[in-house]
Amino acid sequence: MRGVFVSVLFGALLTLVTAFGASAQQAEIEGTISQQFEAFKADDFDGAFQFASPMLQQLFQSPENFRRMVTTGYPMVRRPAEVKYLELREIAGFWWQKVQITDQKGFVHLLDYQMTQTDAGWRISGVQLLDAPAVTA
């Protein structure tokens, strides 16, 4: 009986530690994305570029190239009216944060952020625009 109690106690402790770790990880990931949104709102593309992964920074080579990509390909992230963080998932070793953005015109956009953990913290290594409901706020 004592062995069962110890096993249950250990299992509960492991679940608690795992849940706390995942919760902290999600908060850090959401923080990275939120900080990039704040930089976009301030038209601080140098600052926003710092939240891109080293791979993306190498790909775009400059904050100006990054700005052009964002303004033409992802205009809804520049000054979103509302941001909702949905589920965080691990898929094949990669972390994906789903984000629902309502733009200034009230259109809803669903994006999936691929995240990479670096020595400097979590960085955005890619964004996919997903099919979202065609609803306005």
* pLDDT tens for each residue of 52-96: 999 999 999 999 999 999 999 999 999 999 999 999 999 998 999
What's the pTM value of the predicted model, to 2 decimals? 0.78
For the domain made up of 2-130, give the CATH fold. Nuclear Transport Factor 2; Chain: A, (3.10.450)
The better pLDDT of the pair 88, 16 is held by 88
Number of H helices, E strands in the chain: 4, 4
DSSP 3-state of 102: strand
Return the pLDDT at 25: 84
Number of Cβ within a 10 Å radius of residue 33: 21
Q: How far, in whole angstroms, is CA 79 from its chain's centroid?
A: 16
Residue 83 main-chain phi, psi, to 5 deg: -130, 130
Question: Which sequence spans correspond to the domains of the chain?
Answer: 2-130
Q: How far is CA 122 from CA 34, 69, 125, in A?
A: 12, 21, 9
How many residues comprise the chain?
137
